[in-house]
Structure 1
Amino acid sequence: MILTATPAPAVDQTVHLDQLRLGEAQRVGPPVIRPGGKGINVARVLASRGHAVRAVTTRGGAEGELLERTLSHLGVDARWVPVAAPTRRSTAWVEASGRTTVLNEQAGAWTEAECEAWLDSLTVAVEGASAAALCGSWPAGAPAGWVSRSLEVLAAGGAYTVADTSGPLLLTAAAAGASLLKPNVEELAEATGTTDVQAGLGILFGLGAQAVLLSRGPDGMSHHTREDPAGLHARLDAVLTGNPTGAGDAAVAGWLSVVAPLGRAPLGAERERALRTAVAWSASAVLAPVAGELTEDAERFMQRVQCG
């Protein structure tokens, strides 16, 4: 079983339109509403591919009730931590050209009791999980220590741990010794203060990171370890146009689909297969109309991934 942990889920709204014209009034069709947040997207993708998945997340207010209703129909075993702050919304404006503008609300602050309830829920839910992913942003004002404590709880349960976050929390996750970090190149530069990818990776490894799965946009993805800092690179044989929202989440899901049965870091051919799957699922997600879904192209893309 794979566990995802999403402290700041969202009700995702996706609006498709020809072109977003700033400063003008425009009429658009009804938005597509889906349960969202990075870990929720990972769980949805995995469930859609037949993997046993459990999601620990929060809900608050009317938006939280909507989140729970929409997720309950998707085959995800959800464990809810009630919080007072209302669940946030995330709105993606997807233009016909593929250009996408995303407006993400900040999740409201938790109380100390809610923080403890979160950790308690993780402790129970991680039992039986071979892999666990802690994904996304954190509520306003959350101390960095909560990321470390969450990862410690997941690792104590024996799970291979993935941290997909950004900013200072990426450094915290590295210091906590997560099995895998999953930034993109912009997030790596922001967190480490350098645009030199190898230097940035060196900072993460120096803090304690074990491995990094790096999203490189049109240039694909790369997997780096302390033993192989240069990394293994993979990319699709062509650049796709579509909605990139959720592509990184699909990559995490693809990676976990290979690694979870192992219950450890992949080696040799396992590593290449995990990276190929991450790239293929990420590409498939770009062609999907909303985040958290794959198209039928996922398997076909596996044959189009160039790895080396």
Structure 2
Amino acid sequence: MILTVTPNPSLDRAYELPSLDRGAVLRAARDRVDPGGKGVNVSRAVTAAGGRTVAVLPLGGPEGALLGSLLGAQGIEAAGVPVAGSTRVNITLVEDDGTLTKVNAPGPELTPAEAESLLEAVRVRSAGADWIACCGSLPRGLPPEWYAELVARAHRAGGRVALDTSGAALTAALGARPDVVKPNAEELAAAVGRPLATVGDAVKAAEELRERGAGAVLASLGADGQLLVEADGSWFGHAPAAAVRSNVGAGDASLAGFLAAGGTGPVALAAAVAHGAAAVQLPGSVMPTPSDLAPAAVTTGREIPLDRPLTEPAP
């Protein structure tokens, strides 16, 4: 069972447009609303693959009620923590050429009591969890050290933690030694304070995060593939480039695939790559089902193309 923790969940509304013209009245060809937030997306991907998951998250206002209802409709058990503020609504505009424009709301400000209630909900629900996936930005009111406290409490209870966050929250949590961290290239560059121009640069940055406390690093390099750097060695995984319909939630689908496949080694890396490649071909933040996956198209190995320039260098 994979327990997910999403401190700042959302309702994700996606609109598909021919093009984005500022100042004009735009008519969407299609639209949809999905439960959102990185941990929520991991739960959705686990469920789509037929696995078991529980989603811990704060819920507030009518938006929170709708989010909880949508999760229930998808067969996801939501361990909602009531909060006074309203759950945020994020907007994604998808143009025909694949260009995405995202507007992410800040979300509610949690009180210290609400923050503690969230930690307690994780403790109560974590018994029997194979992994605890802690994902996304922290809402207002939660200090950067909140994830570090969650990791420390989980470890004292014997749990394994996968952390997907960025900035000060990631930096603060490394000292608590999360079992896996999952940055993308930009987040990895920010964590080490230098740009990444090649795959080799990303490997060195991942190794640095391990030296600072991460047990393993699963790094998404976008179209260039994914890296897994852990105590037993490093692996590189890649799948052929596909037509990108939406990359919203693709990294979350990758993490779900990785954890569901054991969370370590090349087999788990291959599952991560397959899930990410499938997710980008689906609309909005739809999570892939087994029929969407193409595992035969994935290649993994210890031979890493260190000199390969990144398609999108991380600043």
What's the TM-score, normalizing by structure 2?
A: 0.89
Q: Does 1:242 align with 2:245?
A: yes
Cα deviation, 1:108-135, whole Å, max 9, x if unaligned, reads 2111110111111111010110111000
Name whichever of 41-50 and 288-297 sits farther off.
Answer: 288-297
The AA in structure 2 aligned to 1:57 is: L
SS of equivalent residue, structure 2 residue 261: helix
Contact 1:165–1:182 (CA<8 Å) still a contact in 2?
yes
2:49 is aligned with 1:56: no
Q: Which residue of 1 aligns with 2:311?
A: none
Q: Which amino acid aligns with 1:166?
A: S
Superposition pairs of residues 148-163 of structure 1, within 5 angstroms: 148-163=148-163
Q: Per-residue CA shift, 1:245-297, capped at 9, x if unaligned?
A: 110000001001111xxxxx53xxxx111111101111111111121411565
Tell me if the contact between 2:203 and 2:229 (Cα under 8 Å) persists in the aligned partners: no
Aligned-partner Cα distance in 2 for 1:97–1:56: 36
SS at match of 2:89: strand
Q: Counterpart in 1 of 2:215?
A: 210
Q: Which runs of 5+ in 1 are unaligned?
A: 260-264
CA contact (8 A) 1:285 1:295 kept: no
Aligned to 1:262: none
Q: Is the 8 A contact 1:59 1:87 kept in 2?
A: yes
Q: C-alpha separation between the residues in 1 aligned to 2:226 and 2:30?
A: 34
Q: What is the aligned partner in structure 2 of residue 274 from structure 1?
A: 268
Select which of 273, 280, 284 maps to 1:286.
Answer: 280
Per-residue CA distance 1:26-84 (angstroms, 9 max, x = gap): 22256301111001111011111111111101101111111111111111111011111
In 2, distance between residues paired with 1:174 and 1:249? 20
- TM, length-normalised to structure 1: 0.91
Equivalent pair of 1:46/1:53 in contact (CA under 8 Å): yes
Aligned residues: 296
In the alignment, which of 182, 207, 226 is matched to residue 221 of structure 1?
226
AA at the equivalent of 1:240: A
Aligned to 1:233: 236
Counterpart mapping for 1:164-175 below 5 A: 164-175=164-175
Q: Is the 8 A contact 1:15 1:31 kept in 2?
A: yes
Query: What aligned pairs does 1:1-308 form with structure 2 within 5 A after superposition?
Result: 1-29=1-29, 31-195=31-195, 196-228=201-233, 231-259=234-262, 266=264, 271-294=265-288, 298-299=292-293, 301-308=294-301
State the identity as a percent: 36
Q: Aligned-pair RMSD on alpha carbons?
A: 1.6
Whole-angstrom distance in 1 between the partners of 2:175 and 2:149:
12
Change (3 A) 1:221 1:206: same
Q: Secondary structure at the match of 2:16?
A: strand
**In 2, are the aligned partners of 1:151 and 1:178 still within 8 Å (CA)?**
yes
Contact 1:173–1:181 (CA under 8 A) maintained in structure 2:
no
SS at match of 1:31: strand
